[in-house]
Amino acid sequence: VQTKGDPKKGKELYLNTAVLACASCHKLEGVGGEVGPDLTRVWDTHTTEKILEAIVAPSKEIKEGYQTFRAVTADGRVFTGLRVTDTKDEVVIREANGRDVRIPKDDLEQLSATTMSLMPDNAVSQLTYDQFIDLLAFLKSRQVQESLRGTGAAKKEAAVKDGAKQEPSGDA
């Protein structure tokens, strides 16, 4: 991975939410979503093998706090996601798209933990072998990951200044 992969190309893939959902769900160096675990310092905390396993078989080991819950309302609606809060009055479920769903406890028929990750097993199925190696190289590259620092806040500021109505794309 470190000799064949190109971490800069992997970074482009990671940030391209039209191709992969990595940055939509995971925060890394302050850039990205808040559905999956923060991947900042993953280059230091996980072996290449562990990263590979987490991508290919995400349900094999789910990080504490990121267990998927299934909520069924009294009128039969079903919501699946992370349990963000659970108070005496309501449960908040964060769906895979990042949307928080508030369900009053009076309207909650069932809330149960599942053994499936919100991250799909086929998350990288559309990548070529070389692209997958590039993505892994990026996730193991301290230097290229740290190049993201500060880009999230800077892009949001620029978008506000330009009067943009949408979130920045994350292409660095």
Contacts (Cβ under 8 Å, ≥6 apart) of 47 = none
Residue, of 169 and 115, whose pLDDT is higher = 115
Residue type, 172: A
Summarised one tens digit per residue, pLDDT across range 29-77 is 999 989 999 999 999 999 999 999 999 999 999 999 999 999 999 999 9
pTM of the model: 0.76
Summarised one tens digit per residue, pLDDT across range 127-158 is 999 999 999 999 999 999 888 887 654 444 33
Q: Write out the DSSP string of 97-152.
A: TS-EEEEEGGGEEEEEE-SS-SS-TTTTTTS-HHHHHHHHHHHT-HHHHHTTTTHH
